[in-house]
């Protein structure tokens, strides 16, 4: 046989194989939709997973017999598992929730399920049947939380029972179909030693940060989304002495403090009538009446920045928080902007004086292209000079340029004189 004929024959075989696989896929999706409709009509409440699996198998056998269709055993087994997951769990995302290596789940419409593993994104083979299938899972997630999502309320934020953060946005705002994002809650908190072994910081940095927290310096952890700010905040809080009263304030409670005297506060979204909202700012103001030794704010993103800085300047030293910013200098600009959102028309000089006298340290943490997270700056705020806040870098991460490797390499180095901390706390 000529080479051309062999190539054409191989292409025809491949084409037939693809068509057969596509036919099986379409049949599987059709059967899955039919099975879901059947099991939703059935009364299976109280049944175990094994009993539900047996019933789904019976329905599948009956359906294939009536339609005179054939499915390979591997496809049948997979189909049964998917339907059971829809009935007893959260459908296609259930195995991803159970996978401890997955840190974030992103559903971009029914046909694209992405996850984050090791700091990198990857597309999974899981999928939903259609938009309604995605909406059913969203409803199953938010209904027990007393929340709703529809055309009048097309966006929803929530915290799942295990502490994971959940966000959904649906059409007409989401063009590709209902979209979900779940940032999974770590059951095992990542400790300082793990961060050192992962290269997030050095031992010298860890020792300095422990001393800074114990000596009641006011610290902001800055970085982008997914850079590890909350993990760093959690580790900083572990250095707080156990005989202090700590009040934590978060949008979604994620911090896992080990101290015995902790009061956890969480914001409340508005109800259906757009009433009853309790914001971070409301909780910050209330916390000042609770006799806190330390105030830890999960993230400052609005007018509560002014209340936080005023608290730091009026005796509440040792406060900790996070903020979205790309560099330590950006932190200062963002703080000014957030304070203006408080509604008070204050001069910029007064705002900068508040920042300079309240904040002691800025910890900048970044996520690199290889998925690793590293502290890139530890910066000390020295004060004001000619109306400008002066900064001094204490530690930097110096990246080594390598063209043979995709992994980020470098070293942490001390570049500034460390501040002298007196026995009573701050400098």
| Region 57-65 average pLDDT | 73
Instruction: For 25-53, write each residue's pLDDT tens digit.
Output: 666 666 666 666 666 555 555 666 676 77
220 token code pair: 């902001």
Instruction: For 394-421, write each residue's pLDDT tens digit.
Output: 999 998 865 555 778 889 999 988 987 6
CATH 3.40.50.300 residue ranges of the chain are 192-414
For residue 2, pLDDT over 50 is answered with no
pLDDT score, position 128: 87
The answer to whether the CB of 261 falls within 8 A of the CB of 290 is no
Supply the DSSP string of 224-250, one letter for each residue. Answer: -TTSSHHHHHHHHHTTS-TTS-EEEEE
Dist. CA 324–CA 144, nearest whole Å: 31
CATH 3.30.450.90 residue ranges of the chain are 89-186
Q: What are phi and psi of 364, to 5 degrees?
A: -95, 125
What band does 173 get if pLDDT is binned at 50, 70 and 90? very high
246 token code pair: 């700590």
24 token code pair: 């099986």
Q: What are phi and psi of 350, to 5 degrees?
A: -65, -40
What band does 358 get if pLDDT is binned at 50, 70 and 90? very high
CA 385 vs CA 354, 381, 382, 417: distances in Å: 14, 11, 9, 19
| Region 368-379 average pLDDT | 90
Instruction: For 95-104, write each residue's pLDDT tens digit.
Output: 898 898 999 9
pTM of this structure: 0.77
pLDDT score, position 427: 56
- The better pLDDT of the pair 15, 355 is held by 355
The answer to whether the CB of 405 falls within 8 A of the CB of 297 is no
What band does 424 get if pLDDT is binned at 50, 70 and 90? very low
Q: Detail the DSSP E strand segments found in 109-152.
A: 113-117, 120-123
- Cα 31 to chain centroid, rounded: 35
Supply the DSSP string of 354-400, one letter for each residue. Answer: HHHHH--EEEEEEE-TTS-EEEEEEEEEEEEETTEEEEEEEEEEEEE
Dist. CA 327–CA 365, nearest whole Å: 9
Helical (H) or strand (E) element with 27: helix 3-41
| Domain 192-414 in CATH 3.10.580.10 | no
- The better pLDDT of the pair 62, 392 is held by 392
Dist. CA 166–CA 93, nearest whole Å: 13
Instruction: For 70-124, write each residue's pLDDT tens digit.
Output: 767 777 777 777 777 777 678 889 889 889 899 999 999 999 999 999 888 999 9
Dist. CA 45–CA 36, nearest whole Å: 15
* Residue 172, preceding peptide bond in cis (omega within 30° of 0): yes
89-186 adopts what CATH topology?
A: Beta-Lactamase (3.30.450)
pLDDT score, position 275: 81
| Residues facing 360 on adjacent strands | none
Mean pLDDT of the chain, nearest integer: 83
pLDDT score, position 23: 60
The secondary structure of the chain in percent helix, strand, coil, rounded to multiples of 5, reads 40, 20, 40
């Amino acid at each position: 046989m000529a080479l051309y004929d062999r190539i054409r024959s191989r292409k025809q075989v491949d084409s037939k194989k693809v068509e057969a696989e596509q036919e099986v896929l379409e049949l599987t999706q059709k059967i899955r939709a039919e099975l879901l409709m059947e099991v939703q009509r059935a009364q299976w409440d109280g049944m175990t997973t094994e009993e539900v699996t047996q019933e789904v198998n019976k329905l599948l056998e009956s359906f294939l017999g009536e339609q005179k269709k054939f499915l390979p055993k591997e496809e049948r087994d997979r189909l049964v598992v998917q339907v059971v997951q829809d009935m007893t769990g959260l459908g296609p995302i259930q195995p991803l929730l159970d996978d401890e290596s997955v840190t974030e789940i992103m559903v971009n419409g029914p046909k694209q399920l992405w996850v984050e593993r090791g700091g990198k994104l990857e597309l999974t083979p899981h999928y939903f049947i259609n938009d309604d299938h995605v909406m059913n899972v969203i409803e199953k997630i938010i209904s027990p939380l007393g929340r709703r999502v529809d055309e009048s309320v097309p966006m929803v934020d929530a915290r799942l029972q295990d502490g994971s953060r959940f966000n959904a946005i649906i059409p007409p705002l989401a063009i590709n179909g209902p979209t979900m994002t779940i940032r999974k809650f770590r059951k095992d908190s990542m400790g300082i030693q793990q961060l050192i072994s992962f290269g997030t910081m050095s031992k010298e940095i860890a020792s300095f940060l422990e001393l800074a927290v114990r000596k009641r310096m006011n610290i902001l952890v800055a970085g982008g989304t997914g850079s590890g700010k909350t993990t760093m905040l959690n580790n900083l809080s572990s250095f707080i002495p156990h005989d202090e009263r700590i009040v934590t304030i978060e949008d979604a409670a994620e911090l896992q403090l080990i101290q015995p005297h902790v009061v956890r506060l969480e914001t409340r979204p508005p109800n259906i009538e757009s009433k009853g909202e309790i914001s971070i700012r409301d909780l910050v103001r209330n916390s000042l009446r609770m006799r806190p030794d330390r105030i830890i704010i999960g993230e400052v993103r609005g007018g509560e920045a002014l209340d936080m800085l005023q608290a730091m300047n009026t005796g509440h030293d040792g406060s900790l928080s996070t903020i979205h910013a790309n560099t330590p200098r950006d932190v200062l600009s963002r703080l000014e902007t957030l304070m203006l959102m408080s509604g008070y028309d204050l001069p910029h000089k007064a705002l900068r004086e508040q920042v300079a006298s309240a904040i002691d340290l800025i910890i900048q943490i970044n996520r690199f292209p290889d998925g690793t997270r590293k502290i890139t700056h530890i910066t000390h705020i020295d004060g004001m000079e000619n109306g400008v806040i002066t900064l001094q870098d204490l530690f930097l991460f110096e990246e080594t340029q390598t063209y043979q490797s995709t992994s980020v390499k470098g070293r942490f180095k001390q570049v500034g004189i460390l501040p002298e901390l007196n026995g009573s706390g701050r400098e």
